Amino acid sequence: VEPRSRLFREVARAALADERLQRALAAGTDRLRQERDRAFAALPDGEALRDRARAIKARSLAQLDRLLAQLAERVEARGGRVHWAADAAEACALVTEIAGRDGGRRAVKSKSMTSEEIGLNAALEGAGVEVVETDLGEYVVQIAGETPSHIITPAIHKTKDEIADLFARHHGAPRLERHEELTREARERLRARFLAADVGITGVNFAVAETGTLAIVENEGNVRMSSSLPRRHVAIMGMEKVIPDLESLAVCLRLLARSATGQKMSSYVSLITGPRREGEEDGPDELHLVVLDNGRSRLLADPALRESLHCIRCGACLNVCPVYRHAGGHAYGWAYPGPIGAVVDPSLAGPERAAPLPFASSLCGACAEVCPVRIPLPHLLLRQRERVVTARSAERAAGAGGGALERALARAFAWAMASPARYRWASRLARVASLPFARRGWLRRAPGLRAWTASRDFPAPARRSFRERRKTS
């Protein structure tokens, strides 16, 4: 999958000028944010729960190899098959091979960010397997020929009117007005797909090592149908999704729904332990679990960024991020948008492909405040920035050119900050140098600050510094 994160600035600029998109993003993220806040305000042990979830994720990562081995052993003991995929290509090859067995040609799929990460739909279609998204938001973006723009609500960038037009065009049916009618129409179309599918593909929210249970949450019932109606069920999970036991699952589930949508619990929580057993009426003949690495081992071995693997993909950090709320998910150019995407994309997709993302943050800290597992996102963003800058400097030192002015400025800044006398001298110099550009206390356009002043004013240095005023007071 080729991320388009390099184009962040261009796509974000176009998004900012799109009034319809701005309205859709504001309405969607405001609603999710308010629901989340309400749910936590009504949860007396919310803070303690967050601490527990953080500890569970840290403990799980510390013994990831043991837990994954235990999970695999328990899944297989219950009749499932476990497959290990080192990267996206391996995962896609595994799933397409399983889906195509015995002439399989039709797949239904529920929402899975891991499948977006590996570009599974394109791989399946390339292998001649027709795949239909069954989550309503995913269905909308699939028939629109787009990608999801939010972890939880994939079509958050679309208004109801746009969806009404899209359905009328795609379904060749009269245009419907009401939410309920649109949902009913999609449901009617999808029902036949579930019944005809050879394989059902889902993600996994948590995998319980102790029992070999896959926990999948949803609100529409489509996961349950995708995992129980077709003969084969393929579940795809990033390897960090494993947790030790059912007690840990209870903690994580209480937080996930509240953080994502403000619900106490998702409408459906499927706990899948093996394929259909003898005497059972429902369930697939085969259950395949694909465990994906795709750069996660690198994150795990990286003490500076390891905590990003605590993420339970609730999407709460997106809804409060001033950058995501305006740029929208497509600007990030890959599966994971928002603050968590800006942290993990450079490591998972490759730093050269996602270099602009760590800079797409005001570092206001709102993301860390809402993160249910307390990931210190602003600190991780700074670490990713440091790496991008270091890599660029190394490239330039190796003769890739450019950046001489930036390096000289950084050196001059470091020199000036190293002694009080130089700092005073530099402050005075800045005051004098800014005089020609200052208007009523603000710099509206100044050399060296062009990127900042293009979209907002910069405060001009005060006529008298704090130290000078203090001396004369």
Q: Point out which residues bind ligand SF4 (CB under 6 A).
A: 151, 259, 311-317, 340, 370-373, 375
Separation between Cα atoms, residue 458 and residue 387, nearest integer Å: 27
Give the three-class secondary structure for 383.
Answer: helix
CB closer to ligand SF4, 32 vs 199: 32
Torsion from C-alpha of 165, 337, 16, 364, nearest 10 degrees = 140
Residue with token string 């399983």: 98
> Largest alpha-carbon pair distance within the chain?
90
Residue placing its CB nearer to ligand SF4 in the complex, 71 or 377? 377
**Min. distance of Cβ 375 from ligand SF4 in angstroms?**
5
Smallest gap from residue 57 Cβ to ligand SF4 (A) = 9
Q: What's the closest the beta carbon of residue 153 comes to ligand SF4, in angstroms?
A: 13
Closest by CA to 142, choosing from 99, 78, 193, is 193
**CA–CA distance, 329 with 335 (Å, rounded to integer):** 9
User: Which residue number, 72 or 375, has a Cβ lying nearer to ligand SF4?
Assistant: 375
Cross-strand pairs, 458: 443
Contact between 309 and 296 under an 8 Å Cβ cutoff? The reply is yes
Query: In the complex, what is the shortest distance from the CB of residue 318 to ligand SF4, in angstroms, rounded to a whole number?
Result: 7
CB of 317 to ligand SF4, least distance (A): 3
Of 288 and 313, the one with the shorter C-beta distance to ligand SF4 is 313
User: Which C-beta is closer to ligand SF4: that of 96 or that of 308?
Assistant: 308
Q: How far is the CB of 36 from ligand SF4 (least distance, A)?
A: 10
Q: Is 411 exposed, middle or buried (0-12, 13-18, 19+ CB in 10 A)?
A: exposed
- Decide whether 88 or 375 has the Cβ nearer to ligand SF4: 375
Query: Which residues lie closer than 8 Å to 331 by C-beta, 6 or more apart?
Result: 7, 8, 11, 12, 15, 337, 360
